[in-house]
Amino acid sequence: MSGFPDHEVISALISGRYADPFSLLGMHNTAEGLVVRALLPDASAVTLIDAKNGRKVTDLICVDQRGFFSAVVGRRKKPFLYQLAVTWHEQTYVIEDPYRFGPLLQDVDSWLLAEGTHLRPYERLGAHPEMLDGIAGIRFAVWAPNAQRVSVVGEFNFWDGRRHPMRQRRENGIWELFLPAVTTGQLYKYEIIDCHGDTRLKADPYAFEAQMRPETASLTRGIPAIVEPDAERSHANALDKPISIYEVHLGSWRRHADNNYWLSYQELADQLIGYVQHMGFTHIELLPINEHPFDGSWGYQPLGIYAPTRRFGTPEDFRALIQAAHRAGINVLLDWVPGHFPSDEFGLAKFDGSSLYEYADPREGLHQDWNTLIYNYGRNEVRNYLAGNALFWLERYGIDGLRVDAVASMIYRDYSRPAGEWIPNHYGGNENLEAIAFLRYTNHTVGTQRDGSVTIAEESTSFSGVTSPPENGGLGFHYKWNMGWMNDTLKYMQLDPVHRRYHHNQMTFSMVYAYSENFVLPLSHDEVVHGKHSILGRMPGDDWQKFANLRAYYGFMWGHPGKKLLFMGNEFAQRREWDHDRSLDWHLLDDAAGPHSGVQRLVRDLNACYRQYAPLYQQDCSYNGFEWLVADDSENSVFAFLRRDNDGNEIMVVSNFTPVPRPGYRIGIPHSGRWREILNTDSSYYNGSNTGNGGEIHSQPHPSHQREHSVQLTLPPLATLFLVREG
């Protein structure tokens, strides 16, 4: 190409129809000699400067009034480092030319990104501070294989897509550009002329920070530093450790009383972490804090999955919150949503004009329940985008584990779809084989790259092997929410006690499959929204009975095999449904002698007891850790079982789910011994009637329940007892 391209070529460049701006702009050897070309809209003059000595080399000629400049450097034959002195509105600025820098993406990265096996795609894609040839700037890269042109636009170039079109790497569809002098903290987007010729303005899928809604731009920011794994925190995630999770929505846990505004990450670090530590929870689970456009989605429709939401502060502030939890000995779990995303125009939908991140056919790509789009797990780059994000939160923020949302909606093609409105897989089945492969790959990656981190599946079906290793045909999760236990037991507890005798199996059925997976018992946010009432609101009877039922239920839950999860507000028996726009009703605790304070004290003591006594957790996933003592007394709605640790130490758990005290209730036990009541949900300390078995209880050589020895207990009304064997 000559030093002065024709009008059609310049018009194609400016309009975004020129395929390779780097072949035209910058410094090039031509038949006429060394040529420098620049596209600088609104500039009145441009001078070429030798970067080594700062001397003027030549003036560039304005070839096109729309801002295209060019010059032949007659006395130079070899390319050299240069700068441009550009005059805009009578002010002259010396700038670095982005089009003098070579390709940015290394061959190995290019290969791995296209193959979908790059463990850390976020290190190459997105916006990264960089030094090239001693020049500071930001390196941008975005995947948009079907775009006609992609430009970086931002406050540094007047949001003008003509100024900085990017280089396309045709081997993988990635567009890249290094922009000198751009600094961290500046707003930017990608202006895309898509495959249909339409112009789209998109936020960066890999942005590490985003604007506060309703604004939608990305911010340039360095990648967070790696947080090294901690052995103690890793051990706290293990199957044989006590795991009691406090699930929290940061925007509504507590708000400022004067203006109902959110607490900041810093205020949450000061208030929330101390509260969780005081209550004895071992883990805190954060509802999605990934950047999301709509408050009412609670974070479950994220569009900036690499950016902590700005609602509560900066990424550094969020990192400080995590560090505060770790200093308090609390592990942090993050709700993670790789199943769907909203269709907002600035986001991933039709990113380059094609269905790039989502399935094209709405029978595969549209979530009818949530009116969101489903990721196309069959694309290497999409799987890489998501799997890399999982590792990102673990490595770069020190998150200790991920709770993966709506797994059932991912692995079944007919999830919530009537016949004829879904597409079978290539075997004719209803499983989404690509999503299953993605989950296995992600869990394998987490397991091999971040030792001690865990993934937890919210999976509501009987899909086999959710917590089995991928090499054994499983999905590779460490834990699974036990939705069956939650549904069955809540249905039972909602019944008037007089009817519970007819539904006894709802409390025992979970033990039929208790060891098929590694379970977490969840009473989550899903159980206190959409007209379901609060957990307290589901309990039958008068107010005293409601609280007694709830305390007995919590005791049964903490005694039952499986890790524990309680949504915020449940720990003090919030009366109303959760509202994401309001604080929890902390005023209910103003009366220290009231029933809400009693439930709060109970949950704290349950956590303390749970952490202190290994039989309650050590063999959660083993048949050896559990034995029914009374499983068939439906007439009295009584349940009794033993929990054991590795050394044979035992705790007896007994629940009476009727409002009738039962003195002299005999329970057969495997061997003689002395027992001590260590927790009674009917204690007056918890606002109960204070019926129980204070002190020691000795076994008797009195056969009962097909056993030679037994104990005789007083069972309080609507209560659960914990008794530890001491001899």
User: Which pLDDT belongs to residue 251?
Assistant: 95
Instruction: Count CB atoms within 10 A of the CB of residue 581.
Output: 10
How far, in Å, CA of 638 to CA of 632, rounded?
A: 8
How far, in Å, CA of 18 to CA of 240, rounded?
A: 61
Contact 619, 240 (CB under 8 A): yes
Which string of DSSP letters, residue by residue, matches 333-387? EEEE--S-B---TTTTTTTTSS-SSB-SSHHHHEETTTTEE-B-TTSHHHHHHHH
For residue 197, the SS3 value is coil
- Residue written as tokens 């050589």? 701
Could you tell me how far CA 663 lies from the centroid of its own chain? 49
For residue 604, the SS3 value is helix
User: Which pLDDT belongs to residue 74?
Assistant: 78
Of residues 276, 294, 293, the one with CA closest to residue 285: 276
How far, in Å, CA of 238 to CA of 245, rounded?
A: 14
The amino acid present at 312, given as its one-letter code, is F
Question: In the structure encoding, which two tokens stand for residue 201, read together?
Answer: 């303005």
The amino acid present at 267, given as its one-letter code, is E
Spell out, as residue ranges, where the chain has pLDDT lower than 70: 1-4
The amino acid present at 690, given as its one-letter code, is N
Of residues 434, 503, 444, the one with CA closest to residue 470: 444
Q: Which domains are delineated in the chain? A: 7-97 (2.60.40.10), 107-219 (2.60.40.10), 242-614 (3.20.20.80), 622-725 (2.60.40.1180)
- The answer to whether 577 is a known catalytic residue is no
Predicted TM-score of the model (pTM): 0.93
List of long-range contacts for 316-323, beta carbons under 8 Å, 24+ apart: 317/264, 317/265, 317/266, 318/265, 318/289, 318/397, 319/224, 319/397, 319/398, 320/265, 320/266, 320/269, 321/265, 321/266, 321/268, 321/269, 321/273, 322/397, 322/398, 322/399, 323/398
Contact 334, 286 (CB under 8 A): yes
User: Which pLDDT belongs to residue 4?
Assistant: 63
Residue spans of alpha helices (H) in 403-541: 407-411, 433-449, 483-494, 505-508, 535-538
Catalytic residue among 335, 395, 405, 434: 405
Dihedrals phi, psi of 176, to nearest 5 degrees: -140, 155
Interior/surface letters 65-103, b for 16+ CB within 10 angstroms, e for the rest: ebbbbbbbbeebeeeeebbbbbeeeeeeeeebbbbbbee
Of residues 26, 367, 359, 383, the one with CA closest to residue 178: 26
Catalytic residue among 458, 459, 488, 527: 458
Of residues 171, 78, 164, the one with CA closest to residue 127: 164
Could you tell me how far CA 71 lies from the centroid of its own chain? 53
Query: CA-CA distances (angstroms) from residue 210 to 14, 179, 217, 315, 620?
Result: 29, 19, 6, 10, 41
For residue 121, the SS3 value is helix
From start to end of 400-544, where are the E strands? Answer: 401-404, 454-457, 479-481, 519-523
How far, in Å, CA of 18 to CA of 500, rounded?
A: 74
- The answer to whether 109 is a known catalytic residue is no
How far, in Å, CA of 95 to CA of 82, rounded?
A: 9
User: Which pLDDT belongs to residue 384?
Assistant: 95
How far, in Å, CA of 284 to CA of 276, rounded?
A: 8
User: Which pLDDT belongs to residue 288?
Assistant: 93
User: Which pLDDT belongs to residue 2?
Assistant: 52
Dihedrals phi, psi of 685, to nearest 5 degrees: -60, -25
How far, in Å, CA of 69 to CA of 58, rounded?
A: 12
Residue 260: which residues within 8 A CB-CB, separation 6 or more? 581, 582, 583
Residue spans of alpha helices (H) in 450-503: 483-494
